[in-house]
Amino acid sequence: MSEKKRLLIVDGNSILNRAYYGIRPLSAPDGTPTNAVYGFLNILLKYLEEETPDYLGVAFDLKAPTFRHKMFDDYKAQRKPAPDDFIVQIPIMKEVLSAMDCKCIELEGYEADDIIGTVSKICDENDVSCSILTGDKDDLQLSSDNTVVKLVVTRMGNTTTTPYDYNAVIEKFGVTPSECIDVKGLAGDPSDNIPGVKGVGEKTAVSLIEKYQSIENIYDKIDEIEVTNSVRTKLKNDKDMAFLSKKLATIIRDVPIDFKFEDYKFEEPDEKKLSEIFIRLNFKSFLKRLNLKGVAEDERVIETISSDCEKIDIIGAEIMLKDADSVYYYLNSGMDKMYFSKDGKKVCCCTCDDNFLKSFFENERISKLGYDIKNDIIRLNDKNIKFNGIGFDVLIAAYINNPTRTKYDLDILCFDYLGMNMPSSNIEEDGQISMDLGNEDSNDDAGVLAAIIKLKNFFEADIKKNEQEDLYYKIELPLVEVLADMQITGMYVDKSELEKFGNMLKSRIEVLTSEIYDYAGEEFNINSPKQLGNILFEKLSLPHGKKTKSGYSTNIDVLNKLMGEHPIIEDIMEYRTLTKLNSTYVDSLISIINPVTGRIHSSFNQTVTATGRISSTEPNLQNIPVRTDIGREIRKMFTAEGDNRVLVDADYSQIELRVLADISGDENMCGAFRNNIDIHRQTASQVFDVPLDEVDSTMRFRAKAVNFGIVYGIGAFSLAQDLKISRKEADQYIKHYLEHYPKVDEYMKNIVEKAKEDGYVTTMYNRRRYLPELKASNKITQAFGERVAMNAPIQGTAADIIKIAMVNVYNRLKREGLKSKLVLQVHDELIVEAVSDEKEAVERVVREEMQNAAKLKVPLIVDLNVGHSWYDTK
């Protein structure tokens, strides 16, 4: 018996819409928005990589009204017009599908759902298995033993697909697929403006249909059905609307389309045309994903990088490298094979031992040109080999080129910037490059180094063109060594004290658990929002309960409203705080303490944030709690090692506001900093129109929120929420602020206009932040872009300054022969673990280098404290 043929029908508008709202704004080089097309392709290709249908079609809606609009004037009337940057992507999507040899189906007067329903019925009649790829639950009514609805959900760029056949619908929703229509007839559907029966919700509707199977059965026995008198009255009053709503929700399965299976055979795409489209849209990753070898508009074939390679022994390599000024290199994951080139043309490869590595990498006269050099410094350190002479790092250069990328993998960079493939066999799961010299054909391996060479040449020219030489060579590149050294050194943690603290937390959590059970009158899973919601709002009948499809909300905002209503609330809030502290910090930190060094060696990331700031992972030390007394206790566990060391903690005072004063040139703000006036008190005095000496703590707190809110571009709505004041009052605060700091107001307006013209903003050191969001028609997205335009130059300049300070502190500690080490950077704060005898020298070095890191119109001030633990320095 031959295998059953398979058809895939895609709900085009639904998937495109899901992709548009689920993926951040993207645009082609000419500014054309592309995020919906990109997301649609990701969803479709993921399906096609898992299953290969024999037939493929995509159904689209047309703009014209359908028979449902004629049946009910208000059908979908509440929907806002589709955004312009979504509409322009529909013809692009159809162009891509055409090049993929995927036929589109649409018919005036009918929705895509009706076309899909008709096609699935044709499949049933012809014994062809049908799959429906959609983001619309309406299509679940089509599920059967022969038709599977693949329901797509996209959130924050992540897509999940759940299959529903006949039984899966019953298991999930409690009714059969055809009964889903009756549920909508009773409960309605706000997304389509289908009214249903007023006052009957989905839960009641499902319960009724489970018992009586259809609306017709319910109304045939309306006086006998088991419901409250209130529900019976609602059903009687809205009988006509119930039947109309069912009609509106019913997918038509006899649309007059001329459908022939042979027209929808899924075969080969037009590779040349598809390549041209993908390159035009900058979808280079799809070229690789589809293994396209078509010719682009410039008639250039997308090729795989390769290079001839000369194998030499260690002695030959040492002789060749002895007098080299600069060398391109790549060291494999086992550190026993290296590829290198002196001139960027001829590639050599050799097996190597530790002596060879030591002589090459410790030779500071040789400038090393590679990729992800920080990782190499750390790997070589395990062999007690120092890395000297950092000349160029492709990874850092790629970050300078575009700091908003999510990935900087070598093969992705090669494809995106050069339009070339790297040999896929060379990329291992850990990101390292495999270099098997036993392979007779070693040209592919040499191609990896060739990629580094080509990318270095590309980014070097780009850095020069954008006038970013100082940013790259004086700030970012020297920072590589600093971060590697900090990661190698690590920060000491008092494990025994951390364990004691954890035991204390666990004891208190047990007490709280017992108290919560007593208040509730039963045991339940406190960590389950659903169970907790039932206890609070049903059993204890507390107010402010807001029920969603998944249950009652029990987030922090809800619990805050309930404070004082019942003693269980305070215990729940403390329970949540302590369990998070214990799991996220205590247990996690204990598990990653290095058993040899007794330290935590956090990874410091130079290429993660779009602002230029450094981040850390494993663990994220920037998230160590600071706002609560119990949270701050964690900082007591981070200490100097032994009794003869201390931590020197230096923190820039209000650096972002000082940068704002410099960039805007506002004399009022500059004067406050020059005269060492508390900027928040001055702002409070001016905003609230009171003398400086009459500013109280509440005024200062609110002025501080305004000062930093302006830096981050927040409006009256957000400020009102932060300060728990009216929007009108918040609006007045901002208005008074800008009246007293007019140059700040001028700067904010000018920088947004300039960003719209240029497409990016820059820091004082020419770091760029590209802003495609400013071109979006979606007002929320556009407003986000404007806030970033205001803030990025300020936050980015502050990040640049602290990086300069880190490099200068690190170099001076070495230059003065001090044993003290830079161990941590968090936000605007540097921590040095100092030998006690060097404390004064370290304080002097840190203060001088941080305060002299940049020459602004206002002084840079550093708050410096010393203690045995991180907690002691605050």
CA distances to 76, 229, 265, 825 from 622, rounded to whole Å, are 47, 59, 55, 8
Residue 19 is predicted with a pLDDT of: 86
Q: How far is 71 from 418, CA to CA, in rounded Å? A: 56
- Six token digits for residue 578: 């302590």
Identify the band that residue 730 occupies on the pLDDT scale cut at 50, 70 and 90.
Answer: confident
Mean pLDDT, rounded, for 32-36: 86
298 pLDDT higher than 60: no
Report the alpha-carbon angle 406-601-612, nearest 5.
35
Q: How far is 874 from 863, CA to CA, in rounded Å? A: 10
Under 8 Å CB-to-CB from 115, ≥6 apart: which residues?
A: 9, 59, 105, 106, 107, 255, 257
- Six token digits for residue 327: 């060398």
Identify the band that residue 30 occupies on the pLDDT scale cut at 50, 70 and 90.
Answer: low
Mean pLDDT, rounded, for 604-621: 90
Mean pLDDT, rounded, for 285-311: 61
Which sign does the torsion angle of CA 119, 120, 124, 128 carry? positive
Among 231-240, 283-292, 467-476, the range scoring the smallest mean pLDDT is: 283-292
Identify the band that residue 268 occupies on the pLDDT scale cut at 50, 70 and 90.
Answer: confident
Mean pLDDT, rounded, for 834-860: 97
Q: How far is 802 from 348, CA to CA, in rounded Å? A: 40
Angle between helices 727-740 and 697-711 (to 10 degrees): 80
- pLDDT tens digit string along 81-136? 777 778 889 999 999 999 998 999 999 889 999 999 999 999 999 999 999 999 88
- pLDDT tens digit string along 746-787? 999 999 999 999 999 999 999 999 998 887 766 777 888 899
Under 8 Å CB-to-CB from 413, ≥6 apart: which residues?
A: 394, 398, 455
Mean pLDDT, rounded, for 570-582: 93
Identify the band that residue 256 occupies on the pLDDT scale cut at 50, 70 and 90.
Answer: very high
Mean pLDDT, rounded, for 269-287: 84
Report the alpha-carbon angle 368-370-374, nearest 5.
90
Residue 444 is predicted with a pLDDT of: 52
In one-letter notation, the amino acid at residue 73 is: D
Report the alpha-carbon angle 549-165-50, nearest 5.
105
Phi/psi at 821 (nearest 5 deg)? Answer: -130, 140
Helices (H), ranges, 597-689: 629-632, 655-664, 667-674, 679-687
790 pLDDT higher than 90: yes
Specify whether the backbone of 299 is left (phi greater than 0), alpha (psi in -120 to 50) or beta: left
Residue 439 is predicted with a pLDDT of: 41
Residue 802 is predicted with a pLDDT of: 98
Please give the full DSSP string across 402-467, using - where no structure is assigned.
-TT-S---HHHHHHHHHS-BPPGGGB-TTS-B---TTSS--HHHHHHHHHHHHHHHHHHHHHHHTT
Mean pLDDT, rounded, for 401-423: 81
Mean pLDDT, rounded, for 721-738: 87
Which sign does the torsion angle of CA 140, 142, 146, 151 carry? negative
In one-letter notation, the amino acid at residue 728 is: K
- Six token digits for residue 716: 């009256």
3-state DSSP assignment of residue 355: helix
Question: What domains appear along the chain, each with residue ranges and CATH number?
Answer: 6-263 (3.40.50.1010), 309-465 (3.30.420.10), 505-592 (1.20.1060.10), 666-791 (1.10.150.20)
Q: How many CB atoms lie within 10 A of CB 658?
A: 26
pTM score over 0.85: no
- pLDDT tens digit string along 345-364? 889 999 999 999 999 999 99
Mean pLDDT, rounded, for 511-533: 93
Buried b (16+ CB within 10 A) or exposed e, 377-399: bbbbeeeebebbbbbbbbbbbbb
Of 457, 433, 318, 459, nearest to 375 by C-alpha is: 433
